[in-house]
Amino acid sequence: MAVKMLAEYLDHALEFERMAAALRAAALLQVANMCAKCSEIHFKIAHYRQMATRIADRLTLDGIAGLMMELANAKAARHPAEKK
């Protein structure tokens, strides 16, 4: 029973790693088309998003969400004519 559970866990972990690698590749392609400052902001937002997946404290998560919102607004202010 434990071996089967471990095998399932490893299968899910490998699938997660494949999906994460694909997302990282897509993000790198997207960043290649950004200006340098927007690229820096993009990576900071990605770092905060990654950090938030390992935190359970609501106050800290709210703070991270606020930082991400500020960065997203700064990124949008740099290129006001562009729309997503």
Count: domains in the chain: 2
18 lies in which domain range?
A: 1-33
Are residues 46 and 84 both part of a single domain? yes
Are residues 28 and 42 both part of a single domain? no
* Rounded Cα–Cα distance for residues 24 and 22 (Å): 5
Are residues 45 and 84 both part of a single domain? yes
Are residues 69 and 51 both part of a single domain? yes
For residue 69, what pLDDT is reported?
95
Checking if the pLDDT of 80 tops 80, the result is: no
Task: Let me know: does 17 contact 43? Beta carbons within 8 Å.
Answer: no
Are residues 46 and 79 both part of a single domain? yes
Are residues 18 and 39 both part of a single domain? no
75 or 20, higher pLDDT:
75
Q: Kindly report, residue by residue over 49-71, the tens digit of the pLDDT.
A: 999 999 899 999 999 999 999 99
Name the pTM for this structure.
Answer: 0.56
Q: Kindly report, residue by residue over 15-54, the tens digit of the pLDDT.
A: 777 777 777 777 666 656 667 788 889 889 999 999 999 9
